[in-house]
Amino acid sequence: MEKWGANAANGDKWGKETEKQLGATDLEAWRKAMYVDAIPWEYARFRQLLEGYSKIPPNEVEAEIFKIRDRAWEVAKYPCIGSFTYVRLLEFDGGDGSEMQKAIERLKAPGSQDTFLELGGFMCQTIRQLVVEGVDSARLYGTDLHAEFIELGYEQFRDRETLKATLLAGDMLLPDDEYGASELARTFDGKMSIIHAANFFHLFSWESQVVIGERIVRFFRRGSGADSPPAVLFGVHMGSLKPGEIEAFRVYLHDETTFQSLWDEVGKKTNTRWKVSMQVAPTTPKPNAFGEHSRMMHYVVSQVAS
C-alpha cells in the first residue's frame, strides 16, 4: 500500500486525513462505505494462521483481528483495511498450478536460493502464510509505505523474535535521486526472483505505475541464465472490464490488454521484455468505490528472454 494515484507526483501521502483524494468530501460517508463492523469474507485460512502460527486461542482470534484492523485504519483509511479484504489470502486459493503454488515450489526446491518480495504488503500476511507452507523465512522480504503496518504485523502474528524475513518501510515513488539512495533500493535491487503485489497497482495513476514498474525491474536478479525460471511478478488487484482512468480517484484500472501496454512501456524504459496474463477472479462482484465495471483480477507478469 503506497501513495494514492497522481498525487504521488507532488509528494502527498495517502494517510489519516486524505480520503478527499478519492473524492470523499464527507468523511463520515467514506467510513460508512469503506468500514464494516463484521468480516464479510470467508477467512478460515487467516484464522488458522493466527491459531496455528501465532498461537492465539481460537476464542480470541476475531477480537485480535478487529483490534489490529482498527489500529491500521487509524494509520491509513484504505478500503481493503476497512473491509477486511486482506484476511482473504486469495492467492492461496488457486491450488496446484496457481502462481502462488509455483512460487512455493520454487522457494522450497532442494538447494533453492530464490527470493520472494511482498510489495505493498500491509502487515506482510502473505509472508507469514508462506512460512506456514514451509518456506525458509530468511529468503522472504516485505515492504510497505507505512512502518506502522509492519509493526502491526509483528503484533498480529506475534513473531518478532522468530521471523527471519527482512521487512522494511519505504516509498516506491521517491524522486530518482532520493530513491537511488534509499534503503529499498539498497536492500532489494538485483536480489529478487519472485515479487508479489496484491491490492497495489490499482492505487496509482498510469504514470506512477510506470515508475513503479521500472523500479520493480531493478529489484529482479540479473543474468540468471536462459535455463533458469524467469523473473515473475504476480498478484491480484482491481481491474476493469472497461479499462481506463477513474477520474474521481486519479487511478488507472486495467484489463489484460492495457496492463500489457503498461509493461511494454516499462520494458522500453528498462531494455527488458515482459508478458502479461490477467483474468477475472472467480468471485462474485460486489458494489465498490471503483464502479460497476470493476472486477478483482489475478495477474502474472513474466520476463521474456531477449
Q: What is the pLDDT of residues 139-177, one digit of tens each?
A: 999 999 999 999 999 999 999 999 999 999 999 999 999
pLDDT at 38 over 80: yes
Q: Quick one: cell of 134?
A: 514451509
Question: Given pLDDT bands bounded at 50, 70 and 90, which one contains residue 295?
Answer: confident
**Cβ of 224: how many Cβ atoms within 10 Å?**
14
Average pLDDT estimate for 201-220: 94
Q: How far is CA 277 from CA 68, 233, 239, 260, in A?
A: 34, 11, 13, 8
Let me know if 247 is exposed, middle or buried by CB neighbors in 10 A (0-12, 13-18, 19+).
exposed
pLDDT at 92 over 50: yes
SS3 191: coil
